[in-house]
Amino acid sequence: MWVRELHAEGSGGLRMIGIMNIKNYTSSVPVESSISRIESKLAAAGASGIMKMYGPDKKVSSLVFRFDVGGRSFSFRVPANSENCFQAMWKQHCLSHKRARPETKNTIREQAHRTAWKLVQDWVDIQISMIVMQQAEFMEVFLPYAWDGKQTYFEAMRSNEYKALPPCSTD
């Protein structure tokens, strides 16, 4: 689990305090099942043209789908960042074990792939529930994942140092 830590000079930093409290870190749900459930939930909500994108490791890295909002069709790309998940889990493992065996690394890498997709499944379930229960609009929760075929809206904002965001109010 990552927590924000305040330092004496006031700057904040992140430190890991243990992965045991992370949701789905021991998930045994096969990746294919998580992806299938995500596709079903998106289709039931009105998504069309759902497609799987594969990474260099030949594993599904993201889902791309279309959704109509206000009479316009938009594409969205929702990734499962398995490599980042693996890095966090591996770091935690190395902190708690003196020796890391190669087979352990492979086991953790596979677990990270399951965990990443299970987290995405849970997130999509919650977001669709929020939309159905009128707690949020589709674009309100999926806008960061709007995709132009090259990058998501979030990636575009980040690459421009979030300059398109309004400044904080001083009120």
80 domain residue, yes or no? yes
111 domain residue, yes or no? yes
Confidence band for 25, pLDDT divided at 50, 70 and 90: low
Other CB atoms closer than 10 Å to residue 25's CB: what's the count? 19
12 domain residue, yes or no? no
pTM: 0.83
* Higher-confidence position of 2 and 110: 110
User: What span, in angstroms and rounded, lies between the C-alpha atoms of 115 and 122?
Assistant: 10
5 domain residue, yes or no? no
Look up the domain containing 82 and give its range. Answer: 26-152
CA geometry: angle 67, 126, 53, nearest 5 deg: 50
* Higher-confidence position of 133 and 7: 133
User: What span, in angstroms and rounded, lies between the C-alpha atoms of 153 and 159?
Assistant: 10
Q: Is the pLDDT of residue 127 over 90?
A: yes
Q: Is the pLDDT of residue 8 over 60?
A: no
Cβ-contact 12, 4 below 8 angstroms: yes
Domain count along the chain: 1
Q: Is the pLDDT of residue 60 over 80?
A: yes
Cβ-contact 30, 54 below 8 angstroms: no
What's CA 47's distance to the chain center, in Å? 18
* E strands, the chain, in order: 2-6, 12-16, 48-54, 60-69, 72-79
Q: Is the pLDDT of residue 23 over 80?
A: no
* Higher-confidence position of 170 and 73: 73
162 domain residue, yes or no? no
Confidence band for 171, pLDDT divided at 50, 70 and 90: low
Confidence band for 21, pLDDT divided at 50, 70 and 90: low
Tokens of 43: 């289709």
